[in-house]
């Protein structure tokens, strides 16, 4: 797979895409990743917003989307299992929204920065 940059896009299925120049926005410690489908000439958001737990978790620091219906999002500074233990959440597409699959995958100890 070719390395992505801000001038190209990745086709994940028939019409699901992640167009990097318009899809990833960073606002301070927030990261917004737009996942959408083509509807004629327009981009239409695919499902609900996916939000992190706290502003200083850096939710979205790492993102993996192995297929059009699964996304894993890391938050390395999450404190759920100790200060800055970090965690990863996996979401699946249920046909209308993104839903968390299972529970958070937490770092094992404080300062692990998992995610």
Secondary structure (3-state) at 20 = helix
Residue 91's pLDDT band, with cuts at 50, 70 and 90, is: very high
Give the position of tokens 């297929």.
67
Taking the domains of the chain in order of start, what are their residue ranges?
A: 9-106
Contact 75, 101 (CB under 8 A): no
Segment 99-105 shows an average pLDDT of 95
Q: Is the pLDDT of residue 49 over 90?
A: no
Q: Is the pLDDT of residue 62 over 50?
A: yes
Q: Is the pLDDT of residue 71 over 70?
A: yes
Q: What are phi and psi of 51, to 5 degrees?
A: -120, 150
Mean pLDDT of the chain: 72
Q: Is the pLDDT of residue 43 over 70?
A: no
Q: Is the pLDDT of residue 63 over 80?
A: yes
Q: How far apart, in whole angstroms, are the C-alpha atoms of residue 50 and residue 60?
A: 10
């Amino acid at each position: 797979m070719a390395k992505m940059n801000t001038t190209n896009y990745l086709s994940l299925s028939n019409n699901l895409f992640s167009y990097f120049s318009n899809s990833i926005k960073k606002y301070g410690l927030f990261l917004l990743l737009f996942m959408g489908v083509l509807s004629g000439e327009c981009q239409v958001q695919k499902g609900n917003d996916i939000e992190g737990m706290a502003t200083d978790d850096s939710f979205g620091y790492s993102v993996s989307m192995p297929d059009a219906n699964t996304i894993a999002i890391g938050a390395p500074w999450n404190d759920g299992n100790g200060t800055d233990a970090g965690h990863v959440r996996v979401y699946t597409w249920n046909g209308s929204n993104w839903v968390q699959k299972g529970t958070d995958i937490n770092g094992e100890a404080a300062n692990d920065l998992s995610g």
